[in-house]
């Protein structure tokens, strides 16, 4: 049997190459159908994200499994590219290395941001889509289910996923929670409507925030963002009014000057009656005058504060790497041992069945020669035959099982097949 991965990631290929090789959701069905037509006896799963494009293949018979070059040609032709243009960007892993690689990917140890949580869902979705489209089988079922299990063990037994490393994630999941126990009962004001604002909205929703108002200088941008995330859009001229009602403010504009000066905020302060206000200023340069943070009841964090926390969290994640790696290695060894045992099982079964058939034939010949033998004697003779066969088979089968556990059963397996003339 053969397990293989051919692909590229942010570690091996430029973003231009990754974008050219990426599969759109609508393309996946036709891609897998094309692959099945080329290699009908090969299972396949395609993992395509913004940071990686990987094709996992598996076949019981190595002779029908596609080679590295075959998969490169498939990718190139599907995306209307030349194989030589992408060959250098695509790397191959096979056997145990392919299994280990998938486990590392699922556990986010191969991610651009180590410990990010999205990749596990992406791996699971890729596997489920391939299953729905009929391109998976026993081998891919086994390796992907084992990968999901390994990733969950890493998440459970290490804190590598628990330390946020992006600025919006730290702002919402850590700093805002230091001030408020919960966000579902807080008025949240988001200033800005760009990429940073959208990422921030995702984390606000994850933490339970529901009462969210989006304000931006461009009404159309704020309305579009609010519609996507089921928030309330508001006009820019209502900014100070909205600050009066807010409990949490996240500001992400690209303004070259503060959008809220100290004088502006003084107009708001008296109307808030010293209610606590958390301001997470993610803008560069700052959207809020730093002096505002000196006012009573105001907790103002700027981008430098957040980056310090991000860096500390990255260092904490790195400390968790050895523990995560130990789990992955243990799960890889366990899966490969099971896989090798599975490879030896048909040969063991055939050998046992062959001996059982010979035993039945010889017992029939013996009992025909001595037809008057009583039942207790018959049972004793059958028992003796069974003991003889078991003792005869025990040394070779025990050696085969031990070599399977060590991951090297192939030579002995082939020898047994030849010696006992067993069919594949």
CATH code where residue 265 lies: 3.40.50.720
Is 114 part of a structural domain of the chain? yes
* Tens digit of each residue's pLDDT, the chain (424 residues): 789 999 999 888 888 888 899 998 888 999 999 999 999 999 999 999 878 999 999 998 888 889 999 999 999 999 999 999 898 889 999 999 999 999 999 998 888 767 777 789 999 999 999 999 999 999 999 999 999 999 999 989 988 776 665 677 777 766 677 788 888 899 999 999 988 888 888 888 888 899 999 999 999 999 999 999 999 999 999 999 999 999 999 999 988 889 999 999 999 998 998 899 999 998 888 899 999 999 989 999 888 877 777 777 777 777 888 999 999 999 998 888 887 777 666 777 777 788 888 888 888 888 888 888 888 888 899 899 888 888 888 787 777 767 666 655 566 667 777 777 776 6
- Say whether both 299 and 350 belong to one domain: no
Question: Distance (Å, rounded) from C-alpha 282 to C-alpha 280?
Answer: 6
Final residue of a structural domain among 103, 128, 162 = 162
- Say whether both 42 and 180 belong to one domain: no
Is 321 part of a structural domain of the chain? no
Q: Strand 298-301 to strand 277-281: parallel, antiparallel, or no bridges (unpaired)? A: parallel
- Say whether both 189 and 146 belong to one domain: no
- Say whether both 20 and 79 belong to one domain: yes
Q: What is the pLDDT of residue 325?
A: 92
Report which of 66, 86, 91, 81 is spatially closest to residue 8, judged by C-alpha positions: 91
Which of 234-241's residues contact partners 24+ apart within 8 Å by CB, and which partners? Answer: 239/191, 239/215, 240/264, 240/267, 240/268
- Say whether both 132 and 198 belong to one domain: no
User: Would you call 355 a catalytic residue per the annotation?
Assistant: no
Q: What is the pLDDT of residue 336?
A: 86
Instruction: Give Cα separations from 74 to 10, 42, 87, 198, 339 (angstroms).
Output: 21, 14, 11, 36, 27
Domain that holds residue 248: 167-310
- Say whether both 183 and 250 belong to one domain: yes
Is 415 part of a structural domain of the chain? yes
Q: What is the DSSP letter of 134?
A: T
- Say whether both 181 and 114 belong to one domain: no
Question: Distance (Å, rounded) from C-alpha 189 to C-alpha 187?
Answer: 7
Q: 237: how many CB neighbours lie within 10 A of its CB? A: 9
* Residues forming beta bridges with residue 341, ordered by sequence position: none
User: What is the number of structural domains in the chain?
Assistant: 3
Q: What is the DSSP letter of 370?
A: S
Q: What is the pLDDT of residue 408?
A: 57
Contact predicate 212/201, CB 8 Å = yes
- Say whether both 233 and 374 belong to one domain: no
Structure-token pair, residue 264: 């502006």
Question: Distance (Å, rounded) from C-alpha 95 to C-alpha 3?
Answer: 5
- Say whether both 119 and 212 belong to one domain: no
Distant-in-sequence, close-in-space partners of 193: CB < 8 Å, separation ≥ 6:
214, 216, 218, 221, 222, 224, 225
Question: Distance (Å, rounded) from C-alpha 139 to C-alpha 136?
Answer: 8
Is 326 part of a structural domain of the chain? no
Residue 129's Cβ-side half-sphere holds a number of Cα atoms within 13 Å equal to: 21
Question: Distance (Å, rounded) from C-alpha 372 to C-alpha 159?
Answer: 74
Question: Distance (Å, rounded) from C-alpha 203 to C-alpha 175?
Answer: 12
Q: What is the pLDDT of residue 215?
A: 96
Q: Which CATH number does the domain housing residue 23 bear?
A: 3.30.460.30
The whole-model pTM stands at 0.63
Is 390 part of a structural domain of the chain? yes
Indicate the SS3 state at residue 252: coil
Catalytic residue among 50, 73, 310, 355: 50
- Say whether both 60 and 103 belong to one domain: yes
Q: Strand 2-9 to strand 52-59: parallel, antiparallel, or no bridges (unpaired)? A: antiparallel
Q: What is the pLDDT of residue 162?
A: 65
- Say whether both 150 and 79 belong to one domain: yes
């Amino acid at each position: 049997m053969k397990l293989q991965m051919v692909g590229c990631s942010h570690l091996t290929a430029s973003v231009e190459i990754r974008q050219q090789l990426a599969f759109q959701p609508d393309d996946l069905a036709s891609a897998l159908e094309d692959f099945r037509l080329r290699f009908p006896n090969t299972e396949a799963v395609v993992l395509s994200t913004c940071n990686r494009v990987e094709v996992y293949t598996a076949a019981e018979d190595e002779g029908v499994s596609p080679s590295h070059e075959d998969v490169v040609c498939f990718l190139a032709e599907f995306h209307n590219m030349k194989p030589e243009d992408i060959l250098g960007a695509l790397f191959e892993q096979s056997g145990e290395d392919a299994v280990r690689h998938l486990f590392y990917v699922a556990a986010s140890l191969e991610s651009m941001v180590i410990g990010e949580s999205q990749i596990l869902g992406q791996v699971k979705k890729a596997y489920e889509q391939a299953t729905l489209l009929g391109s998976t089988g026993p081998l891919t079922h086994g390796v992907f289910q084992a990968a999901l299990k390994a990733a969950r063990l890493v998440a459970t037994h290490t804190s590598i996923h628990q330390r946020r490393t992006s600025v919006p994630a730290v702002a919402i999941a850590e700093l805002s929670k230091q001030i408020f126990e919960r966000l579902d009962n807080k008025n949240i004001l988001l200033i800005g409507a760009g990429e940073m604002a959208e990422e921030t909205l995702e984390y606000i929703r994850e933490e339970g925030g529901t009462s969210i108002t989006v304000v931006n200088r461009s009404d159309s941008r704020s309305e579009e963002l609010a519609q996507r995330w089921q928030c309330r859009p508001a006009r820019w001229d209502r900014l100070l009014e909205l600050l009066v009602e807010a409990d949490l403010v996240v500001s992400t504009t690209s303004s070259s000057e503060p959008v809220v000066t100290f004088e502006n905020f003084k107009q708001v302060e008296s109307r808030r009656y010293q209610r606590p206000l958390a301001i997470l200023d993610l803008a560069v340069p700052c959207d809020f005058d730093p002096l505002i943070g000196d006012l009573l009841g105001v907790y103002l964090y700027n981008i430098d504060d957040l980056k310090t926390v991000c860096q500390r969290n990255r260092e904490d994640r790195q400390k968790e790497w050895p523990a995560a790696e130990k789990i992955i290695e243990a799960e890889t060894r366990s899966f490969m041992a099971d896989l090798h045992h599975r490879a030896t099982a048909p040969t063991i079964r055939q050998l046992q069945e062959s001996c059982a058939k010979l035993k039945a034939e010889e017992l029939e010949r013996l009992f025909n020669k001595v037809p008057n033998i009583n039942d207790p004697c018959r049972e004793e003779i059958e028992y003796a035959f069974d003991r003889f066969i078991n003792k005869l088979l025990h040394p070779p089968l025990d050696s085969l099982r031990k070599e399977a556990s060590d991951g090297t059963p192939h030579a002995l397996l082939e020898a047994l097949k030849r010696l006992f003339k067993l069919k594949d």
